[in-house]
């Protein structure tokens, strides 16, 4: 199991999304407010790329604001 957040190609500029940088293959924004649990083995998910630690920290900051 994993916690995942969808990525959209539409950047809305809301505070609950984290925009991915231009250095990644994946473009768009992470929708932190739509986080879900996900069985990656059952869904046969594949690894595409790893995001920089800076983006992970931004996601954690938004998620903490939602939880608090």
Query: Residue 21: what pLDDT?
Result: 85
Q: State the burial class of residue 50 (Cβ atoms within 10 Å of its Cβ: 0-12, 13-18, 19+).
A: exposed
Mean pLDDT value across residues 48-60: 95
Q: List the domain range (segments joined by +) for residue 53.
A: 2-67
The CATH number covering residue 14 comes to: 2.30.30.110
Provide the whole-model pTM. Answer: 0.88
pLDDT tens string 12-25: 999 999 999 889 99
Counting the structural domains of the chain, the total is 1
């Amino acid at each position: 199991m994993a916690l995942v957040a969808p990525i959209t190609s539409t950047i809305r500029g809301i505070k609950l999304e984290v925009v991915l940088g231009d250095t990644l293959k994946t473009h768009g924004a992470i929708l932190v407010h739509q986080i879900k649990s996900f069985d990656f083995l059952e869904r046969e998910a594949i690894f595409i790329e790893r995001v920089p630690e800076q983006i992970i920290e931004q996601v954690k900051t938004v998620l903490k604001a939602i939880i608090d």
